[in-house]
Structure 1
């Protein structure tokens, strides 16, 4: 293990820290504003009476939009703190890293659940509603959040107890954090589990649903629309994976540099922006609601 001091940690910074964090702050802030403008109308349309939250796909979409905005807020706050102080203590960096990884795990699992939900709804429409009771819908959402938060929280608590020196870090990366921890097995295990187990499993499930639906819609007159929607979902999942893999111990140290991290962050932000387009604005039911004006009570009080 290397020494956790300012001289050693500067090796991980390839460009000026202020410029690096200014770029990430501008990118995160812009993505946060764009995502809010795209997602808020969808959330209002879903929650408008009669609420669509009783349907699993809209419940998952609402949770996914909320999680995306939360993660972008966490990312923007982290870069704002880095920009103002040109560094961050190890303990704070661990907290932000764990929060980012937890949100990433929630998003990947929710996206996979949406792909499975769409596949079941299209292939077995008569069995779809009886199969998914209200309790089962809430259980799916609860399990996704509980597993992600428990895994990241456990790894964070064990990592915080192993902080060697609470030095000021120039970057929040696992290889940088490893120099300041006496034992990083918990953090390493969580990153590896998310990057090497959860992501491939979710991709295989999403890919299977994608191929299955593409095979089923090949002869339908509007199959092109379905294929475009499924392709957007596939691209969105791939964009999700880039920063998750980059934030793990699986990537060689020679590939962890500033320009690649900036590109990965922009790629991830693009994936987040595709969520409202792939799952929301391409839904006929939501588009119809967005075009409708809220019903007004035209009855006079005296009548």
Structure 2
């Protein structure tokens, strides 16, 4: 597939979505996104409004994960809604969606990987931890994460602009998978290598950190007690990593096997739609609870803010004494 027949392929995918009645997947996507867009910004506000939390490395990384997730969910829901409402979208709008979703998704995955490294360093070198990962250094690392996350999608825009490929006008369905699959063969190979290298690198890094964490902590007794908080936290983080990485792995396989999947178009459209509307949304809906509120300091800060809000509401709603 190339840019010249992207509009035709997009039309076929849209017809399959309508014939298979996949618009119902918008319901769980909208519910999960709405709930997340309520709790995640509130946790972000609690972190940034507390001077002590702002100085903690793990909370800065948590804040960047939540920020990336908020942006990703906003653009993703906009895209899914436009596709479900049978709206034709200009190719430039789809390029913007591609850049924003790829950037925010990569930022989330890279930051989650950094959170594992942060936990490993805190356990492995507790005395030198604050020296190695000072707040100022972590802020620079977070900035670097965004730069790395933007490199691939922005490079694609520059390359397509320089080569002056013929671009379609309006598309019946805006899907990042179709846009990337329509790139030239040389660009497609580079994309496969780029995504594969990052998936393998992050997976190996996370696996190494968890193995080392187990080796360091196995003598402490946390693995003997089934209900210890440390054990539950590590297991919760492992589950979160799995559901964060699975959609990216599915997307990478879809992109690599795009031509083969076209032989069974219904299956290809189902996999892509479920991945966008469910698999990519679920980890971001779980993150505020399994990541954010499991931190005792964040949970206490949230409770404090809610208590203050409730107290102010009670004070404002209480009747004022009548003047004599």
Total equivalences in the alignment: 292
More helix per residue: 2
Larger-gyration structure (1/2): 2
Shift of the 64–211 alpha-carbon distance from structure 1 to 2, 3 Å rule, reads same
Structure with greater contact order relative to length (CA < 8 Å, sep ≥ 6): 2
Return the alpha-carbon distance in structure 2 between the equivalents of residues 163 and 24 of structure 1.
33
Aligned positions of 1:36-51 closer than 5 A: 36-51=37-52
TM-score by length of 2: 0.78
Report what 1:282 is aligned to.
294
Shift of the 81–150 alpha-carbon distance from structure 1 to 2, 3 Å rule, reads same
Return the alpha-carbon distance in structure 1 between the equivalents of residues 24 and 78 of structure 2.
14
What do residues 60-80 of structure 1 show as CA deviations (whole Å, max 9, x unaligned)? Answer: 111110110110000111122
- Unpaired runs of 5+ residues, structure 2, are 262-266, 312-324
Shift of the 281–6 alpha-carbon distance from structure 1 to 2, 3 Å rule, reads closer
Check conservation: 1:60, 1:141, Cα contact below 8 A.
yes
Return the alpha-carbon distance in structure 2 between the equivalents of residues 44 and 6 of structure 1.
42
The 3-state SS of whatever aligns with 2:17 is coil
TM-score by length of 1: 0.83
Aligned positions of 1:103-118 closer than 5 A: 103-118=104-119
What do residues 147-190 of structure 1 show as CA deviations (whole Å, max 9, x unaligned)? Answer: 112332121232354244334243514346645x5x36446534
Shift of the 157–192 alpha-carbon distance from structure 1 to 2, 3 Å rule, reads same
Return the alpha-carbon distance in structure 2 between the equivalents of residues 98 and 17 of structure 1.
29
What do residues 95-138 of structure 1 show as CA deviations (whole Å, max 9, x unaligned)? Answer: 21222111111111100111101111122111111222343112
- Are positions 1:174 and 2:177 aligned together? yes
Shift of the 18–173 alpha-carbon distance from structure 1 to 2, 3 Å rule, reads farther
Return the offset for 1:268: 2.0
Report what 1:155 is aligned to.
156
The 3-state SS of whatever aligns with 2:256 is coil
Shift of the 291–12 alpha-carbon distance from structure 1 to 2, 3 Å rule, reads closer
Return the alpha-carbon distance in structure 1 between the equivalents of residues 131 and 295 of structure 2.
22
Return the offset for 1:271: 1.3
RMSD (Å) for aligned C-alpha atoms: 2.9
Return the alpha-carbon distance in structure 1 between the equivalents of residues 172 and 180 of structure 2.
8
Report what 1:226 is aligned to.
230
- Unpaired runs of 5+ residues, structure 1, are 297-303
Return the alpha-carbon distance in structure 2 between the equivalents of residues 246 and 17 of structure 1.
24
